[in-house]
């Protein structure tokens, strides 16, 4: 962090996004690439991704394969979900009841797609630095017939811990972090946000419920209301850090669905990951390269330093002061 920086500098996020752009395919009433016209929506809006990475009828490659070159059919569906009809708002600037509607829609989608598919991945890429090509507030949902690499690894680790300790790993972890407090960023009666002990991205956070919950569909009305407040507080602190619309990739992980719904997944605990890239300023990000790609990730900040910086930031957004 003390080394002088003469490397790549990112372009700051656009601060003056038009509320409505007739050429933006995510805005209400506009025509998308496939010719379909968006609804005149006033809240959330979900549609099939016009360029899906997963198809429900992907062909089976067959079983006659060399052991070094094996593949299987990856079947699924991809959805896009708009959070709000306006392009010039983001989650921290939305009203609490509007964020609750986003959470409710996430739950509805998981319930709908989770009835069939083994994994339903909700994720948001925010900002051009994270590869997001459209400033309109939105996320994606990919549902797959298989358990992808990251949740499969998480499933194994949580299962191993549960078998040894008879307690869900992340529930126990949340309890420990709540007691220690040094890595806590935001907390409430139902939720806890920490910079995790193992964090490698500078201001990485983990969002955890205090009660043992398997999936987002299991949240009570009170927990959803509280979650909306916690999300707004966290994302406001992110924006306030460098006084910029803070880029990140985030996503929810819950117990597997589809054929796994009837199985015992008591070892799982619902959680959300936030991975922001910015390190020194609004224009200098962390580069995960060299030693970190080939050997092991290194920390530019300790989790405790990052948590303290975020925790001490105001809860009111810099744009509303």
Residues involved in catalysis:
138
The 8-class DSSP code of residue 31 comes to B
- Report the distance separating Cα 30 and Cα 18, nearest Å: 15
Q: Are the beta carbons of 253 and 272 closer than 8 angstroms?
A: yes
CA distance linking residue 253 with residue 155, whole number of Å: 10
* Residue 82 contacts residue 41 (beta carbons within 8 Å): yes
Cα–Cα distance measured from residue 255 to residue 159, given in angstroms and rounded to the nearest whole number = 11
CA gap 204, 142 in Å, rounded? 23
Residue with tokens 């797609």: 113
- CA torsion, points 160, 162, 165, 167, in degrees to nearest 10? 160
CB neighbours of 294 closer than 8 A, spacing ≥ 6?
none
DSSP single-letter state for residue 124: E
DSSP character for 23? T
User: What gap in Å lies between CA 261 and CA 256, rounded to an integer?
Assistant: 7
């Amino acid at each position: 962090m003390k080394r002088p920086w003469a490397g790549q500098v990112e372009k700051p996020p656009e601060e003056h996004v038009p509320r409505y752009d007739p050429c933006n395919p995510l805005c209400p009433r506009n025509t998308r690439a496939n010719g379909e016209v968006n609804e005149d929506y006033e809240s959330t809006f979900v549609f099939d991704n016009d360029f899906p990475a997963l198809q429900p009828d992907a062909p089976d490659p067959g079983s006659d394969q060399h052991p070094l070159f094996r593949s299987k059919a990856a079947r699924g569906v991809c959805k896009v979900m708009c959070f709000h009809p306006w392009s010039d708002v983001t989650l921290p600037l939305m009203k609490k009841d509007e964020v609750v509607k986003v959470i409710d829609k996430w739950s509805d989608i998981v319930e709908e797609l989770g009835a069939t598919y083994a994994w339903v991945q909700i994720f948001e890429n925010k900002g051009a630095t994270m590869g997001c090509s459209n400033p309109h507030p939105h996320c994606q949902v990919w549902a797959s017939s298989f358990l992808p690499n990251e949740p499969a690894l998480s499933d194994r680790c949580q299962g191993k811990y549960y078998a040894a300790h008879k307690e869900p790993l992340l529930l126990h972890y949340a309890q420990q972090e709540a007691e220690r407090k040094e890595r806590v960023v935001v907390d409430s009666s139902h939720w806890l946000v920490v910079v995790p002990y193992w964090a490698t991205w500078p201001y990485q956070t983990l969002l955890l419920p205090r009660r043992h919950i398997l999936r987002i569909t299991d949240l009570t009305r009170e927990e959803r209301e509280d979650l909306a407040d916690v999300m707004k507080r966290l994302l406001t602190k992110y924006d306030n850090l460098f006084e910029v619309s803070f880029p990140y990739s985030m996503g929810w992980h819950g117990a597997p669905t589809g054929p796994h719904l009837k199985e015992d997944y008591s070892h799982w605990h619902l959680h959300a990951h936030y991975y922001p890239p910015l390190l020194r300023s609004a224009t200098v990000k962390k580069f995960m390269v060299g030693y970190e790609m080939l050997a092991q990730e290194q920390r530019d900040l300790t989790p405790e330093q990052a948590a303290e910086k975020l925790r001490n930031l105001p809860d009111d957004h810099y744009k509303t002061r």
